[in-house]
A and B are shown apart, each in its own frame.
Chain A
Amino acid sequence: MRLVDVGDVIGMSKKNSNLTVIPFGPQHPVLPEPIQLQFYVDEETIVDVLPNLGYVHRGIERAMELNDYRRNIYLCERICGICNFMHGMAYSELIEKLTGTQVPVRAQYLRTIWAELARLQSHLLWLGLFAEAIGFESLFMKIWRDREIVLELNEATAGHRIHLSTNVIGGVNMDMDRKLLSRYLSDMNKLKKEINDWSPVFYKDRAFRAKTIGKGILPKKDAIHLGAVGPTVRGSCVPQDMRTLGYEAYGELDFQPITYDGEDTYARALVRLDETHQSIDLIKQAISQLPEGDLVNKNDKFPEGAAINRVEQPRGECFYYGVGNGTIHLERCRVRTPTLPNIPPLLQMLVGHEVSDIPAIVHSIDPCMSCTERITYVKEAE
């Protein structure tokens, strides 16, 4: 079903009273975050889907204009609870571009290490939830217990399991000594062993493959045309990865974007599983190459002008656009998170499948709704 025709289809669905409407969400056991999709089904086959967003409003984009530009780091970190470090990092990089400061090399490597740790933690969370969506509940528990290794590592680094809050404008504010770095290496080895223990389920299990191969097809041309990002598009054989732009220390690390050409849910799951291995490798590489140096290079003027920054979050490309006017407040800060452009491909993927396939397919784009909704919350004055 092409999206260009979707206007006609909507009209048709509303007129045709033989179609049943099934509301999926906003609360559903398989969803990590609330989204409502209205399915128009004809017996068991999905004919049409309508999205309904807007359940997680907070006041973030408007609040970023009222706060001063340093406090905004903490606000940006709390846009999402899973990919939080990368939001903070993307915002700091944006302000560094607007003020023209250069981050020292050691700080770049430390940021890379923590960003890969965040990606690792996010993919493990997704793998657990996906396993549960398919029906493997003990696997879900086991994967989340392995995720605890990463969270305890976060706590040892910065004192908090989720929000590291180590970014500042111009660098980082916490250092890692030898003892901590050797703990990182030993924990990464332990994690790699654990992942190798249960990943054969994803590669070889018959029930898993039956539920995911051939479901949620997104052809390569449609993936590019519909503007999908992240593992959604990498599962359709398009090597699009923002880390190849070379921000922070990625320009000096050796890696390739992972692609699979299955174009279905199975391919997307394998992309994420392989990315966990890639993240562990990147962390080990970065630790071995860690140079000495300063941690912070403070800025010496207010943000002025306009700048664009893109980072690769676990779910895809995150886009920041900021405008400053030479005072302590930013004039506009726009955040476009990766789940928003992944929704049109989702609407396309679902049409033609059966109702029982819905959880796995919806889950395969990794929806993170709290990232998506940051718009103003309006409270009418009494």
Chain B
Amino acid sequence: MPSFLGNIMENLFGKPATINYPVEKPPIVEGVRGEIHFDMRKCDQCQDCERLCPSAAISVDVENKQITWDPFKCIYCHLCVRSCLHKAISAKENLSAPDYKQGIKTFKTE
């Protein structure tokens, strides 16, 4: 007990270690791996991201120039972001879920 006294005093009079989510949000560290976004103006349908994705979450439709991304299969490793040669995939820094229900997201050229 005496060896733990310092800790007890600190915990009794200090502020809690947890934060009041969702009222307060945690501080976002730079470089956190979050959601990805496809810029279809730069994409030329080379299908490199589809071949490299470890969990097969990206699907490229070459004729209609569309990309579908499944946010629930994605493991957020950001391999696609690093290997797109036209820099068409960009990463957002967010910790929240990309969607509220299971489904896929489609990106088209406008």
Residues of A within 8 A of B (CB): 67, 70-71, 73-75, 78, 138, 142, 145, 152, 155-156, 158-160, 163, 165, 173, 197-198, 200-201
Q: How far is the CA of A142 from the CA of B33 in the complex (A)?
A: 28
* CB < 8 Å neighbour of B75 from A70, A74, A159: A74
Verify A165–B31 contact, CB threshold 8 A: no
Across-interface contacts of B52 in A (CB, < 8 A): 70-71
Q: How far is the CA of A138 from the CA of B75 in the complex (A)?
A: 34
B7, CB-defined interface residue at 8 Å: yes
Verify A142–B7 contact, CB threshold 8 A: yes
Across-interface contacts of A78 in B (CB, < 8 A): 75
B103, CB-defined interface residue at 8 Å: no
User: Chain B interface mostly helix, strand, loop or mixed?
Assistant: loop
Verify A74–B3 contact, CB threshold 8 A: no
Q: How far is the CA of A163 from the CA of B75 in the complex (A)?
A: 10
Q: Which of A75, A165, A173, A201 has the most CB of B within 10 A?
A: A165
Take A145-B17, A158-B31, A159-B31 as given contacts and tell me if A173 and B82 are in contact as well, using a CB distance cutoff of 8 Å: yes
- The 23 sampled A-B contact pairs (Cβ below 8 Å) are A67-B54, A70-B52, A73-B54, A74-B54, A74-B75, A74-B77, A74-B79, A78-B75, A142-B7, A145-B17, A152-B29, A155-B29, A156-B29, A156-B31, A159-B29, A159-B32, A159-B78, A165-B77, A197-B3, A197-B7, A198-B3, A198-B7, A201-B4
Verify A201–B3 contact, CB threshold 8 A: yes
Query: Closest residue of chain A to B30, judged by CB?
Result: A156
Across-interface contacts of A71 in B (CB, < 8 A): 52-54
Q: How far is the CA of A70 from the CA of B79 in the complex (A)?
A: 11
Verify A155–B32 contact, CB threshold 8 A: yes
Verify A75–B54 contact, CB threshold 8 A: yes
Across-interface contacts of A201 in B (CB, < 8 A): 3-4
Verify A200–B3 contact, CB threshold 8 A: yes
Q: How far is the CA of A73 from the CA of B7 in the complex (A)?
A: 41
Q: How far is the CA of A302 from the CA of B18 in the complex (A)?
A: 49
Across-interface contacts of B77 in A (CB, < 8 A): 74, 163, 165
B22, CB-defined interface residue at 8 Å: no
Distance (whole angstroms) from the CB of A92 to the closest CB of chain B: 14
Q: How far is the CA of A23 from the CA of B77 in the complex (A)?
A: 40
Query: Closest residue of chain A to B17, judged by CB?
Result: A145
* CB < 8 Å neighbour of B76 from A145, A152, A160: A160
Q: How far is the CA of A67 from the CA of B33 in the complex (A)?
A: 24
Across-interface contacts of B75 in A (CB, < 8 A): 74, 78, 163
A158-B31, A198-B4 are known; give 4 further A-B pairs, CB within 8 A.
Answer: A75-B54, A159-B33, A165-B78, A200-B3
Distance (whole angstroms) from the CB of A304 to the closest CB of chain B: 21
Q: Which 7 A-B pairs have the closest CB atoms?
A: A74-B54, A159-B33, A71-B54, A159-B31, A159-B32, A165-B77, A155-B29
Q: How far is the CA of A160 from the CA of B91 in the complex (A)?
A: 14
Across-interface contacts of B33 in A (CB, < 8 A): 158-160
Q: How far is the CA of A314 from the CA of B73 in the complex (A)?
A: 29
Query: Closest residue of chain B to A201, judged by CB?
Result: B3
Query: Closest residue of chain B to A145, judged by CB?
Result: B17
Q: How far is the CA of A244 from the CA of B34 in the complex (A)?
A: 38
Distance (whole angstroms) from the CB of B76 to the closest CB of chain A: 7
- Encoded as 1 (CB less than 8 Å from any A CB) or 0, chain B from 14 to 33 comes to 00010000000000010111
Query: Closest residue of chain A to B3, judged by CB?
Result: A200
Distance (whole angstroms) from the CB of B72 to the closest CB of chain A: 15
Distance (whole angstroms) from the CB of B89 to the closest CB of chain A: 15
Distance (whole angstroms) from the CB of A309 to the closest CB of chain B: 21
Across-interface contacts of B3 in A (CB, < 8 A): 197-198, 200-201
Q: How far is the CA of A200 from the CA of B31 in the complex (A)?
A: 38
Q: How far is the CA of A142 from the CA of B3 in the complex (A)?
A: 13
- Interface residue ranges of B46-101 to A (CB < 8 Å): 52-55, 75-79, 82
- Encoded as 1 (CB less than 8 Å from any A CB) or 0, chain B from 31 to 47 comes to 11100000000000000
